Amino acid sequence: MEIHSCVRRRIDEIQALLDKAATAPNIVTPKWIGRPQSWAFASSRWEAESQAGRAALVDPGRLSKYAVMYARMHDLLEEMTLEQTDWAKLRTLEHVRRLEPSSTFELNATLQDARYRDWRLALVTSQLLDMANSLQLHAMKNATPESPSVCLPITTPRAEAERVSVWQFGEP
């Protein structure tokens, strides 16, 4: 949820670039597109406990809520994987100076997928937080490092983005 505003801003920046390309195909090449954060969810303990028969000791109503939460986290993981693919395609903008109508159309379609995924991820995440609060669960720090990638300005040179990357092998 913390980077949601950065993702929305970048989507708006890319949309403005694509809209401008409809009438002026020569574009100002963005130096940095970046990508949204991708998180890991620890579901192995839930899977082990639910399959070992220990889940039968949990109140059925509470157990049902846990099952729904873990199912939604699984959906989020799948959605984040698809989101990363969308952003990989959008990063092609870092390497072009001119957009032909067919390319503009394809990138617009990809951007709309990214916009939808961002909305869905924010919606499901907020629902999960509400469910966790209703179960009096407390947030734990995610083991995945927080990447500033999509929050960096679109004018950030790749070398600078690589320098601030949380990954030892840089950004894609």
The pLDDT assigned to 152 comes to: 95
The pLDDT assigned to 170 comes to: 80
Evaluate whether 121 touches 83 at the Cβ level (below 8 Å): yes
The pLDDT assigned to 47 comes to: 75
| Distances in whole angstroms, Cα of residue 3 to Cα of each of 7, 75, 159, 172 | 6, 19, 22, 18
Contacts of 20 (CB under 8 A, 6+ apart): 27
3-state SS of the chain is CCCHHHHHHHHHHHHHHHHHHCCCCECCCCCCCCCCCCCCCCCHHHHHHHHCCHHHHCCHHHHHHHHHHHHHHHHHHHHHHHHHHHHHHHHHHHHCCECCHHHHHHHHHHHHHHHHHHHHHHHHHHHHHHHHHHCCCCCCCCCCCCCCHHHCCCCCCHHHHHHCCCCCCCCC
Which ranges of the chain have pLDDT less than 50?
none
| Distances in whole angstroms, Cα of residue 165 to Cα of each of 32, 81, 103, 146, 162 | 13, 19, 29, 9, 5
The pLDDT assigned to 147 comes to: 85
